[in-house]
Each structure stands twice: as structure tokens, then as C-alpha cells.
Amino acid sequence: MKLRLFNISDCGAAFRLRPFCQAFARLLLLIVLAFGGVETLYAQSASRALLMNPKAYTGKRAWWYNYQYFPELKIFGQSTDTIPDLQHKVSLWAGAGLAGFSLEQNNIHIDGKWGMTFGARYNYYFTNNWAMRTGFSFAYAQSDGSMGYFTDSFTKTDQESDEVIYNYDLASLVENYDIYMLDVPIQLVYTWRRLDFGLGIKVAYPVAVAYTQSLADVHTQAYFPQYDALITDSWVMGCGEYAEIKGDNKYLSAPLLFMGTFDVEYELPIGSKYSVGIGAFVDYSLSDFAFRHRQLDNLHTEQNTIVGTSDEAPIFLQNASMLSSKRNFESENVVRHMKYLNAGIKLSFNMNWYGPPKPKTKPY
């Protein structure tokens, strides 16, 4: 057996195989990085991480749904300088809960019942955590109002130019309100993980306020000071006793409201562009308000009182809501210092737009 000695020509063959060995080693390394659970620890940026391992952008997972998202690459020792940040968010939302007017004043009680709200909003993120929000919403609410014994008077001139002083009293009054409210919010929003906290103000306008009314045990009488005559029972004059008077009407104008608003929402992502949210909200008027002007359909009387007579024919009694009525005995509104509340839970559908990184308000 001959022992073959090293030949210089073999050295050239080994050098010719070296590039193939290096390529094979690199391929093995990529396979290990892709399937072996090692997440490109040496990547220096999010873009390089995506090139080295496309799964770097899909590793996030919710408890209820597997979705593609932008992960916190910092846990793998990677730079987050190029991770996209949320730039804009457009949301459609709906909510329901307790809503309506509220008041506790002597023997007058007004309580909100329930309401529902639909709206749209827009968030602009000026950092990775802070945003400004605006939009609009439309709310419907119901309220109940009641009042105990009440008495008042008003003065008018009849067709013979005689002064007539009407006095009336009632045992109780019940009103039900349907409120249609349009509002525009301006909020500062802070995002922490999947929670959004919003705080700000709202400008709200009651587009329409309709009501039904029932008065029990009404007594009216008319006094003519020129003749010192008191009329207590005359259907021609609209005087007498009425077991019940009912009516319904609506306001054509209402006061502008300024409200404080707060909401919190937890988001569940649906892919990288959409999410659904569930949360709670509360809107509350910042100052008292009252209905100063009364412009009602089918109410042809100049008396700002709960009970009045028609200017065309005194035989017809007319009744109006206590919200804007005057109490002439005290020269002030019957209802004062009223509040508005809208609070409940809400659901939203959010459309998210991502872009270049925003200024960081806290270190990662």
C-alpha cells in the first residue's frame, strides 16, 4: 500500500469548495433563526429584523384572536426606533345608559331615565401616548318630572279693555320629556397599553325637547278689580274646577349646554388596522341652565305660566311645561338650576393608521 502525500493541487480544490461551504453554513443559520425559536438577537433595527425574520412582526397574540401586529421588539434586544406608531384613529361608536335632565328643587323633582348615543370621533396622535380628539354624537334621552301643589296668577286685558287677574292652583303636575341632543367634544386622550383615557369638554345643543303633561285638580278664577267682581265658575271665562288637564308640545329653541366629559375604553385588535373597543363614558353639565324662551307649536298665549287662557277665546285653557314657565308671585322661573347627565357603557369600531415613529413621552 502506498501512502499518498499531500499534493499542492488539493489545496486549490479546497479553496474552490470554500464559498459553497460558507453559503451552506449561512443557510443553516437562517433555518435555525427562522424555526428554532431564536428571534434575530443581533438585529439592530426593526427593518433588518423584518428582513432576517418575517415573523418578527406577527408574534403578538391576543387571548381571543391571533392577529398580526407590530411587536415590542425590545424584548428581543432589538431597536424600536423604526417601529411604526399610531398616527390617526377614526371611530364609530354607540352607547346606552342613564341620561336626561335632573333637578331637586323644593317640591319639584326631575330625574333622568335612560338614553342612547351614536357618534363618530377622530384622534390625532402628537406623541406615542397622547392625542387630541374631536367628533360629534347624537343622543336621545328620556326624563320624568313632577311637582306638588302649586299656585300662581297672571293678568291680561279682555276684549272690552278691562283688566282681569286670573288665579289658579293645581294639586300635582307630571311631565315626561323626550330629549334629542347634538354635541361636539374636544378631549385630550392618553393611551396606556390597550386602554384609552379621554378627558375634555363638550358643547351640546338640545335639537328638540318634546313633552307630555298632566295636571290634576286644577282650579281657576278671574277677578275684575274695576268692578270688584270675582268669577269662580264660568266656562265662558275659563273659570272652574278641572279634575285633569292633559297636553303635549315641544320646544323649538333650547339653551346651549357646556359639559365635562370623561371616558375610558379597552381595545381588542382585529389585525393591525382595526380594533373594537368596550368602555364607559360620562357627560355632565358644568353649569346650571333653564329654558328661558318658550316657542311652542299651537300655543297662542303670551302668559308665561303653567296654566293660561287663549288670547282668541278665554274659554280655552292652555297649559305649558314647567321648564320655561314663570311664577309671577316670585317673578322668577318655576324651574331653575337644572342639570343634564349622560352616562353608560359603549362599544366602538376603530380604524387605525400607522406611520413614522412619534416623539416618545416615556422610555421603552
pLDDT digits (tens, 9 = 90+) for 238-261: 888 999 988 888 887 788 899 999
The whole model's pTM is what?
Answer: 0.71
Distance CA 198, CA 341 (A): 17
Name the pairing type of β-strands 229-231 and 195-224: antiparallel
- Could you give all domains of the chain from N- to C-terminal order, each with its CATH number? 11-77 (no CATH), 84-355 (2.40.160.20)
Torsion from C-alpha of 215, 309, 337, 110, nearest 10 degrees: 20
pLDDT tens sequence across 58-87: 444 444 444 444 444 433 344 444 556 788
CB 95 within 8 A of CB 117: yes
Q: What are phi and psi of 26, to 5 degrees?
A: -65, -40
Q: 191 or 36: whose pLDDT is higher? A: 191
Residue partners of 326: CB distance under 8 A and separation at least 6: 304, 305, 332, 333, 334
